[in-house]
Amino acid sequence: MGRAFNVAVAGATGAVGNEILLTLERRNFPVNELRLLASKRSVGKELDFRGEPLCVQELMHDAFDGIDIALFSAGADRSLEFAEAAVKAGAVVIDNSSAFRMDPDIPLVVPEVNPEDIKQHKGIIANPNCTTILMVVALKPLHDISPVKRIVVSTYQSASGAGARAMDELRTQASQVLEGKPVVAAALPHQIAFNLFSHDSAIGENGYCKEEMKMVDETRKIMHAPEIRVCATAIRVPVFRAHAESILIEQERKITIAEALRALEQAPGVRVIDDHVKSHFPMPIDATGQDDVLVGRIRDDISSENGLAMFICGDQLLKGAALNAVQIAELLD
């Protein structure tokens, strides 16, 4: 990447938008001009970037003139409303929402898994769902050894996946419970403090919620493997930040634990934490603020002839969202 880019961040004041700014700065992304865009109520708010205050402007159709890369983190409705305007203005849109993920003409990219798909873009590149990103980063090195045929995954998703309001609500509810006060749920449908519940996205006719079906459909698209069978269960847990996943895979041929460990230890974006003596395996508290997906509890699935089991954790706001988007931008010419 030899030149500087004019970059817009749509949804700059949200949890993911804030992480995008921090990630651009931390990775020294070559920014010439940075334009912060958000809803009308945030106009005039100042955010720091590289030690300088920048004023938030209103997200409008004409806000992308002169922009090379537009990083969207404002939600699917806003992406559907404004992404095409950004493309028409000459920008490449990297979208964090679900708006374009399953469009066959729009690449869905995780740089450690399918970077070559970026070349197929026609102005928009989709960022996958957070849980899918974390999972495929961990599975790609194993899939390369022996193709994955089936996945059974249970996710343990932190409050950060529902945004800054949900994180604040977890903090408030924890205080309410400890002080013996009534618990109020607003950002999430149920009490999250000292509790867990099934992901609140809509349940389809097949009994799976939208969050679970994202993992099914997106995994197949990213890995170019429409034949992979995926069964997902998505659960919200009382953790501020970083998601965890329990994953069982069945592969075409049996690979040994030693093979799996070697592949994972050499894989980009992966850090193996698998200390049996100290019983130290991936935890959300260790994954928080980290770029890598933490992988451990690697063991044979004794219920499956060609099965392997593992446990992973990753920062939903970083690799699950902002970091992945910036990594895509880093691969643009």
pLDDT of residue 130: 96
**Region 192-209 average pLDDT:** 96
Q: What is the mean pLDDT of the segment spanning 36-59? A: 94
Q: What is the pLDDT of residue 192?
A: 97
Tokens of 250: 């069945």
190 a catalytic residue = no
pLDDT at 280: 97
- Residue 130 annotated in active site: yes
Q: pLDDT-based confidence at 333, cuts 50/70/90?
A: confident
- Strands 229-236 and 243-251, by their bridges, are unpaired
Question: Rounded to the nearest 5 degrees, what angle is found at the Cα of 268, between the Cα atoms of 265 and 247?
Answer: 65
SS (H, E, C) 112-149: CCCHHHHHHCCCEEECCCHHHHHHHHHHHHHHHHCCEE
For the chain, the average pLDDT equals: 96
Binning pLDDT at 50, 70 and 90, where does residue 134 land?
Answer: very high
Average pLDDT for 198-210: 95
Instruction: Output the CA–CA distances (angstroms, integers) from residue 10 to 6, 47, 77, in the order listed.
Output: 13, 13, 12
Q: What is the mean pLDDT of residues 181-199?
A: 96
CA distance 291 to 316: 10
Query: What is the residue extent of each domain of the chain?
Result: 5-127+321-330, 132-316
d(CA 160, CA 219): 22
69/17 Cα distance (integer angstroms): 14
CB 108 within 8 Å of CB 98: no
Q: What region, left, alpha or beta, does residue 180 occupy, with left being phi > 0 and alpha being psi -120 to 50 degrees? A: left
What's phi and psi for 122, nearest 5 deg? -120, 30
Separation CA 305–CA 84 (nearest Å): 48
Give the CATH superfamily of 132-316. Dihydrodipicolinate Reductase; domain 2 (3.30.360.10)
pTM, entire model: 0.95
Going by pLDDT thresholds of 50, 70 and 90, the confidence category of residue 163 is confident
DSSP 8-class letter at 320: I
Instruction: Kindly state the average pLDDT of the residues 100-112.
Output: 97
Going by their DSSP bridges, the two strands 92-95 and 69-72 should be labelled as parallel
> What number is the average pLDDT over the span 78-96?
97
pLDDT digit string, tens, across residues 262-301: 999 999 999 999 999 999 999 999 999 999 999 999 999 9
- The confidence score (pLDDT) of residue 3 equals 86
Which sign, positive or negative, has the C-alpha torsion 146, 147, 152, 157?
positive
Residues 213-244: pLDDT tens digits? 999 999 999 999 999 999 999 999 999 999 99
**Catalytic pick from 121, 143, 243, 313?**
243
pLDDT at 80 over 90: yes
Q: How far is CA 136 from the centre of its chain?
A: 11
Catalytic choice (121, 130, 209, 313) = 130
> CA-CA distance, 308 to 292, in Å (whole number)?
21
Question: Starting from the edge strand earliest in sequence, which strands make up the sheet with 270-272, in order?
Answer: 197-198, 229-236, 148-157, 243-251, 307-314, 293-300, 270-272
pLDDT higher than threshold 60 for residue 1:
no
SS3 state at 181: coil
Residue 2 above 80 pLDDT? no
- CATH topology for 5-127+321-330 is Rossmann fold (3.40.50)
